[in-house]
Structure 1
Amino acid sequence: MINVTKSYLPDLEEYTNYLKEIWETVHLTNDGPLLRKLESQLKEFLGVKHLKFCTNGTVVLQMALKALGINKEVITTPFSYVATTNAILWEGCTPVFADIRPDDFNIDPAKIEPLITENTQAIMATHVYGNACQIEQIQAIAEKHNLKVIYDAAHTFGATYNDRSILSYGDVSTCSFHATKVFHTVEGGCIVTDDDELAQKLHFYRSFGHRNDDYFSIGINAKNSEFHAAMGLCVLPKVPDLIAARRQVFSYYNNRLDFTRITRPSLTPGVGYNYAYYPIVLDSEETLLRVADALKAQDITPRRYFYPSLNKLPFVITSDNDKAQYCPISEDVALRVLCLPLYPSLSEAEVDQISGIVNEAIAIVSENA
């Protein structure tokens, strides 16, 4: 079976060596030595000032909203994983959807400003598939209207924009370290900021607001364990090689797929890409379903990533919510985009097989049209 992704696992002995340290210290969680070591290495690798390693990529979005005092309207993208919208709703805020750009599927800055009201407090944008948003335009809008910028940068680890980590932009950026990501800690995530005061607040938020035996602030359980940190310490040094391997798989697809019948989202100028995903866009949902079925018949699992358009979620579109905007570009793309398998160990022969199935399925649809 070929899945849409396959987690990289380091040499077992390398991981076991860290486990021996955990057994010796009996420090399993609660800001342990391996966690602090990983945070230090991550900051150095990414070139960021403050980074907090947390339990996952969703809770850090919630922490960002809470720490910035956001409790009203948040302008966000309809084309992202559901966690982006869930975090906004979970914190009692109202998501206001701005449609996406048709070329790169990131939030369209031109659609943001018309949606700003007296209740708008923040912009939460996703760097879709690890590709940078229109960062300068979003920042200009935020400064003009005194809004905070939160980037859901779940897919961007190892990617850069203008030679800086994409995670270094915005008031706050968050990342997922889930097992499916370019860099992973099995489960995990991080929150990044340049603001000293905000970083201190996030430090306490992560662990129930504890400061010694007292409570410094409101908090939540967003701590991560030494076991997860150990995995991160094993994987982090391999990231450049993992990205290089992904780039090679990317090139295999580029050389084999029939681009007379499919398209791909464009890359933002200035981006050093991490090759996190390989999305293709078909001419219709009917074609997508035929391609997906043809792949699954050969035990190959693609993914409709992202589907549906988040403004169409049933728990967002309610009779008392007048901010569920019509987003025609996102709604259309969400019906036609399919992510093909991509991971470092995917072989050229496997890519050849996948591409052949895709091309044949598309050709059959075209012949029957």
Structure 2
Amino acid sequence: MINVTKTFLPPFEEYSEQLKRAWEKQWLTNRGELVLELEQKLKEYLNITNVIVTNNGTVPLQIALKLLGKQGEVITTPFSYVATAASIVWENCTPVFVDIHPEYLTIDETKIEDAITDKTTAILATHVFGNPCNVEVIETIAQKYNLKVIYDAAHAFDVTYKEKSLFNYGDVSTCSFHATKLFHTGEGGAMFTSDKDLLHQLFYSHNFGHDGPLAFHGLGINGKMSELQAAMGLSILPYVKNIVSERKKIVDFYNSNLDLSKIQILKLRENTQWNYSYYPIIFKSEEILLKVEKKLNEIEIFPRRYFYPSLNKIEYLKSSSMLISESISSRVLCLPLYFGIEKEILKIIVETINKSL
């Protein structure tokens, strides 16, 4: 059975060596030496100033919205994983959807200003499939209207834009280290900011608000990563360049062998060094998508409909129609893409799709 993704696992003995450090210290949580080391190595690897690792990828969104959303209206994209918009509602803010660009699939920055009201407090945009949003225009709009910018960069590990980590943009960027991601800690995530005051708030917010063992800076929750998760991250980080390189070969194979005259592929924003995190293809109709999906499923190959449905169609998020997002979400299918997938399987996937178009 071939799924859309497969978790990369390091050699077990290497993971065991990291775990042994935690066992010897008998320190499994509360920011032990493995967590601190992982944060330092991530800063070096990504060439960033600050990072706080967390127990999953959704908590950073919730913390950022708690601090910056202030229960106002948050402009966001309808084309993302449900966690993006659900976090807005969870933090008692109101999601205001703006449609997406038909080729980049990120929020259409030209439509953001029309959605701003006197209740708008923030913009939460997603770097969809690791493809950067138009960060310059979004920043200009945010400064003009005194809004905060949060980026859901769940897919953006190791992506650079204009030779800088994509995590450098926005007031806060967040990432997922879920097992399905190219870099992962089993379950986990991170939040990034270059603002020292905001970094302080993010830090105590993910640690119950603590200021030492007996005092408190303010309100907080438990978003801390464990030593067991950090051990996985430390074991995988040395392999990331190789993982990205292998994924690039798969993407190149798809690009060279699929009939691109009959399908649309993701258009990357200029000045982007991508991480090959997903391979979405967009069919001319949902009918064709369903036909292709059925043919692949019949031979035990399971692509996935990222992201369906368009978030504005979910019951607790319902809003006005988002024509482009609704259209794309009904026609997009992500093909299997992971380290170690055999070339013969790729040939079967491509042949099955091309014959079904």
| TM-score, normalised relative to structure 2 | 0.98
Q: What pairs with 1:75-224 in structure 2 (closer than 5 Å)?
A: 75-211=75-211, 212-224=213-225
Q: Does 1:270 align with 2:271?
A: yes
Conservation of the 8 A alpha-carbon contact between 2:69 and 2:122: no
Structure 1 distance, partners of 2:305, 2:39, is: 33
Aligned to 2:307: 306
Q: Secondary structure at the match of 1:50?
A: coil
Q: Secondary structure at the match of 2:309?
A: coil
Structure 2 distance, partners of 1:92, 1:64, is: 13
Q: What pairs with 1:56-75 in structure 2 (closer than 5 Å)?
A: 56-75=56-75
| 1:231-252 Cα shifts (integer Å, max 9, x gaps) | 0001111111110000001111
Q: CA deviation at 1:228?
A: 0.4
Q: Secondary structure at the match of 1:266?
A: coil
Q: Does 1:341 align with 2:336?
A: yes
Q: Secondary structure at the match of 1:121?
A: strand
Structure 2 distance, partners of 1:281, 1:103, is: 10
Q: CA deviation at 1:69?
A: 5.0
Conservation of the 8 A alpha-carbon contact between 1:96 and 1:325: no
Conservation of the 8 A alpha-carbon contact between 1:249 and 1:347: no
Q: Secondary structure at the match of 1:315?
A: helix
Aligned to 1:38: 38
Structure 2 distance, partners of 1:325, 1:143, is: 27
- Tell me which amino acid in the other structure corresponds to 2:102: P
Structure 2 distance, partners of 1:338, 1:22, is: 41
Aligned to 1:228: 229
| 1:65-90 Cα shifts (integer Å, max 9, x gaps) | 11225311000000000000010000
| 1:129-185 Cα shifts (integer Å, max 9, x gaps) | 001011111111111111100000000001100000111100000000000001100
| 1:173-224 Cα shifts (integer Å, max 9, x gaps) | 0000000001100000000000111111111111111222222210111111
| TM-score, normalised relative to structure 1 | 0.95
Q: Does 1:358 align with 2:336?
A: no
- Tell me which amino acid in the other structure corresponds to 1:270: N
Runs of 4+ in 1 over 3 A off after TM superposition: none
Q: Secondary structure at the match of 2:317?
A: coil
Aligned to 2:327: 332
- Tell me which amino acid in the other structure corresponds to 1:132: P
- Tell me which amino acid in the other structure corresponds to 2:12: L
Aligned to 2:253: 252
For these two proteins, the number of residue pairs brought into alignment is 356
Aligned to 1:4: 4
* Contiguous gaps of at least 5 residues in structure 1: 318-323, 363-369
Structure 1 distance, partners of 2:232, 2:303, is: 26
| 1:16-72 Cα shifts (integer Å, max 9, x gaps) | 111111110000001111000001111111122211000111110011111225311
| 1:96-152 Cα shifts (integer Å, max 9, x gaps) | 000001111100011100010000010000000001011111111111111100000
Conservation of the 8 A alpha-carbon contact between 2:4 and 2:302: yes
Conservation of the 8 A alpha-carbon contact between 1:162 and 1:270: yes
Q: Does 1:281 align with 2:276?
A: no
